[in-house]
Amino acid sequence: MARKKNSPKGKPLSPAQIRGAEARYLMNTYRRPAVVFTHGRGCRLYDSTGREYLDFLGGIAVNALGHAHPRLVRVIRREAGRAIHLSNLFQNPYQAPLARKLAEWSGLDRVFFTNSGTEAIDGALKLARAYAHAQATASGAAPKTRILALENSFHGRTFGALSITHPTKYREPFAPLVPGVEFVRFNDVADLEAKFDSTVCALVLETIQGEGGIFPISEAFWQRARALATQRDAALIADEIQCGLGRTGRHFAYQKFSSRPDILAVAKPLAGGLPLGAIIANEKFASAFVPGMHGTTFGGGPLICAVALEFLNVIEDSNLLENIRERGGELRQGIEQLAAKFDFIREVRGEGLIVGIDLSIDGAAIVTEALRGGLLINCTHEHILRLLPPFIIRHKDVTEFLNKLEKALQQATRLKTTQNAESKAQPIALAAAR
Ligand SMILES: Cc1ncc(COP(=O)(O)O)c(C=O)c1O
């Protein structure tokens, strides 16, 4: 089969050979299971042996239309034969229409396209600093430079985004980072008020913390953050890279509040799996960028913008926001029922199709059992199962998911009980093996 020819000489590599080559040639940044996925269709993935998996991770919130969506495939084929890349030195037919749609969806004004989420965050920070510098130049005052971010946040891996990412495990190996960052306790209005003084140029928050374990910003915190940012002439930056673009059943998660951010960062699902992010800002902040101040070689090329435009059109044409709300409701209800059976499920959080299942036990074994049973999920912070399924899932997919998850939970509990019994029987031998 031509699809399997993944070695330079055209002879298919076996999963074991791929594993060996990865261990030899890739930098050691990911711990991966042995499975090799070769293709997908809708919310199903297939491995190199042809085995089918239900994909409730969606490439970590990226494959929002599942795999091989016919409308995205058609646009990729069409545009690949026209112009993949043109350079941001020139106009292309799709950037402006895509920017217009993002402005309409968000209620903001202007867009800058990036290649990833982390670059959208770095660009958003630069925009906030550029605005502060311009204001300072106009008034003769010293520029505000401090940036506030939240505890338990995750914003990306480049230096700017890393500097506002809270857990020390991400930051410490790369110190020193960008100076001037201070962390506010999550949803703690008093701490926010104490730290948000007139030297702050931006407050960055995830409207729903994703990597942190699916924790939504409270209405009280959002409204106070909005008011303080306005009072201090600082930017309220919402990172909706994981929770935005429909995932909550609204275009953006912040739309459940009555106010908007000044700057919004999006990425992950924007081009249906191709790498594209965006900084979206109101006119006041967007106008701080003038030609030459910021740029990118790849961001916003014609093919990728055409695909992103199609992605947003599919969401509208297929009423996917409604589907997200309905399937999300079924999913929550089914998991709550499982929580009544498994006492180690402490809490279920989230909205629409971003869901966290908080456990009082380690989640890794459950993820492994789920994979063994043909289900893809993920675990964050060692004990929070994370579900980010495609927006196109149907009722029967939710039912299948709940059955598979229940089996994985049963199997993981069984393993744990056996391990506990064994460790009680042979405490010395196990301690030595560790
Ligand atoms: C909320 C949030 N911000 C930023 C990022 C970084 O995005 P990227 O991996 O595209 O750089 C992520 C990625 O997981 C994210 O979840």
Whether residues 378 and 311 share a domain: the answer is no
311 closest CA partner among 26, 92, 2, 105: 105
pTM of the predicted model, to two decimals?
0.94
Q: What is the pLDDT of residues 3-40, one digit of tens each?
A: 445 555 667 889 999 999 999 999 999 999 999 999 99
Whether residues 182 and 111 share a domain: the answer is yes
Domain for residue 242, yes or no?
A: yes
Task: Report how far ligand 1's centroid is from the alpha carbon of 126 (Å).
Answer: 17
Lookup: tokens for 134: 């311009």
Whether residues 99 and 239 share a domain: the answer is yes
> Residue 427, class by beta-carbon neighbours within 10 Å (0-12 exposed, 13-18 middle, 19+ buried)?
exposed
What domain range is 50 assigned to? 33-62+319-425
Whether residues 209 and 117 share a domain: the answer is yes
Do residues 165 and 199 lie in contact, with contact meaning Cβ atoms separated by under 8 Å?
no
Whether residues 205 and 305 share a domain: the answer is yes
CA distance 433 to 419: 13
CA torsion angle 268 273 278 280 (round to 10): -70
Domain for residue 6, yes or no?
A: no
Whether residues 305 and 334 share a domain: the answer is no
Lookup: tokens for 411: 């199997």
Q: What is the pLDDT of residues 253-300, one digit of tens each?
A: 999 999 999 999 999 999 999 999 999 999 999 999 999 999 999 999
pLDDT of residue 421: 65
End-to-end CA distance of the chain: 43
Whether residues 313 and 323 share a domain: the answer is no
Residue type, 384: I
Domain for residue 267, yes or no?
A: yes
Do residues 120 and 270 lie in contact, with contact meaning Cβ atoms separated by under 8 Å?
no
Domain count for the chain, please give it.
2
- Report the CATH number at residue 193: 3.40.640.10
Task: Report how far ligand 1's centroid is from the alpha carbon of 125 (Å).
Answer: 15
CB of residue 242 inside a 6 A radius of ligand 1: yes
Residue type, 277: G
- Pairing of the two strands 384-387 and 378-380: antiparallel
Task: Report how far ligand 1's centroid is from the alpha carbon of 65 (Å).
Answer: 19
Lookup: tokens for 264: 């919004």
Whether residues 393 and 370 share a domain: the answer is yes
- Report the CATH number at residue 403: 3.90.1150.10
CB of residue 118 inside a 6 A radius of ligand 1: yes
Lookup: tokens for 183: 């962390």
Lookup: tokens for 101: 């749609």
CA distance 206 to 266: 11
Domain for residue 9, yes or no?
A: no
Q: What is the pLDDT of residues 100-132, one digit of tens each?
A: 999 999 999 999 999 999 999 999 999 999 999
Atom of ligand 1 nearest to the CA of 268: 10
Question: Could you tell me the CA-to-CA distances from 398 to 43, 143, 183, 222, 330 in Å, in that order?
Answer: 11, 52, 38, 32, 7
CA distance 5 to 401: 32
- State percent of the chain over pLDDT 70: 94
pLDDT of residue 7: 58
Tell me: pLDDT of 139 over 90.
Answer: yes
Domain for residue 164, yes or no?
A: yes
Domain for residue 17, yes or no?
A: no
Residue nearest to atom 8 of ligand 1 (CA): 117
Tell me: pLDDT of 426 over 90.
Answer: no
Choose one of 251, 286, 317: the last residue of a domain: 317
Choose one of 266, 299, 317: the last residue of a domain: 317
CB of residue 210 inside a 6 A radius of ligand 1: yes
Whether residues 288 and 160 share a domain: the answer is yes
Domain for residue 200, yes or no?
A: yes
Whether residues 253 and 341 share a domain: the answer is no
pLDDT of residue 9: 63
Strands in 384-387's sheet, in edge-to-edge order, are: 345-351, 354-359, 384-387, 378-380
Q: Which of 7-11, 85-89, 390-394 has the lowest mean pLDDT?
A: 7-11
Which residue's structure tokens are 């991966």? 32
CB of residue 206 inside a 6 A radius of ligand 1: yes
CB of residue 154 inside a 6 A radius of ligand 1: yes
Atom of ligand 1 nearest to the CA of 156: 6
Whether residues 370 and 250 share a domain: the answer is no
Q: What is the mean pLDDT of the chain?
A: 94
pLDDT of residue 433: 29
DSSP string for residues in 290-350: -TTSS--SSTT-HHHHHHHHHHHHHHHHTTHHHHHHHHHHHHHHHHHHHHHH-TTEEEEEE
CA distance 132 to 396: 51
Domain for residue 237, yes or no?
A: yes
CA distance 122 to 385: 28
Q: What is the pLDDT of residues 410-425, one digit of tens each?
A: 998 887 777 666 655 5
Choose one of 285, 317, 349: the last residue of a domain: 317
Whether residues 312 and 330 share a domain: the answer is no
CA atoms within 13 A on the CB side of 382: 3
CA distance 123 to 103: 17
CA atoms within 13 A on the CB side of 1: 7
Residues 72, 246, 79, CA angle at the centre, nearest 5°? 20
Tell me: pLDDT of 242 over 90.
Answer: yes
Confidence of residue 358 (pLDDT cuts 50, 70, 90): very high
Atom of ligand 1 nearest to the CA of 211: 16
DSSP string for residues in 345-399: EEEEEEETTEEEEEESS-SHHHHHHHHHTTEE-EEETTTEEEE---TT--HHHHH
